[in-house]
Structure 1
Amino acid sequence: MKTLSPDRPILVVGAGIAGLTVALALAGRGFSVHLFEQARKLEEVGAGLQLSPNATRILDRLGVIERLRAVSVQPEAIVLRRARSLREIARVPLGAAAAARWGAPYFTVHRADLQSALLSRVEREPSIRLSTGAAVRDAAYHARGVTLSIDQAGSIIEAAGDLVIAADGVWSTMRGTEDDKRGAFSGLTAWRATLHRGEPAEGQGPVLSGSVVTAFLHRRFHVVAYPIRSGQAVNLVAVTRGEALRRAWSVAAPRHELEAALAGAPALSR
Structure 2
Amino acid sequence: MQIRYSESAGKLQAALKHLSDLTQLQQDPVQPLSCLLTLGDIIDGYGGDDSCSAAARAGKDLRLIVGLISSGLQDVPARHALGNHCLAAPRTELLELSVGSGVLDTSEMSLCCGYPQGSAQMQQALRWLQAHPKEQHPNAESWNGGLSAAQMTWLQLELAEAAMAGQRVIAACHHPLAPGSAPDQYLAWGYEAVLQLLEQHAGTVCMVFSGHYHPGGYAQHDGIHFVVFEGILEAPQDSNAYAVVEIWPSKAVIHGYGVGSSRQLPFM
TM tier, shorter chain? under 0.3
TM-score normalized by structure 2?
A: 0.25
TM-score normalized by structure 1?
A: 0.25
- From the CA coordinates, give the structure whose radius of gyration is larger: 1
Q: Name the structure with the higher helix share.
A: 2
Q: Name the structure with the higher strand share.
A: 1
